[in-house]
Amino acid sequence: MDRRISSRTAKSRLRIDHRSPFGTVARKDPEIIFPVQALKAAAEQGLIGSVAPFHFSIYGGIRLYREIEERLAPDLADQLAKTRVDLAVFIPY
């Protein structure tokens, strides 16, 4: 299950498909929920070491709790470990 988005993906290529008033704001500025530029700025300032080459997108409102616990979470943890990230930032939306 590949949920990766490259750090080099242009904001114009992101599709925000949230059908609520919150989606309107995010569609105007995807950086609100996908803060790659803020992370890159933090790396440039030396606040963090670097930005991962890719990020993950997880669809909200999932009610398949067993699938999340048994498949999705372990898969994401495995991919993060293989990438050797030290910190993961979760942005609820």
Task: Determine the 3-state secondary structure of 51 from DSSP.
Answer: coil
Whether residue 72 is predicted with pLDDT greater than 90 in this model: the reply is: no
pLDDT digits (tens, 9 = 90+) for 6-61: 888 888 888 877 777 777 888 888 888 889 999 999 999 999 999 999 898 877 66
**In the prediction, which pLDDT does 2 show?**
58
Task: Please report, for the chain, the start and end positions of each structural domain, with discontinuous segments joined by +.
Answer: 4-83
Cα-based torsion angle of the residue sequence 11, 32, 21, 65 in order, rounded to the nearest 10 degrees: 100
Task: Determine the 3-state secondary structure of 11 from DSSP.
Answer: helix
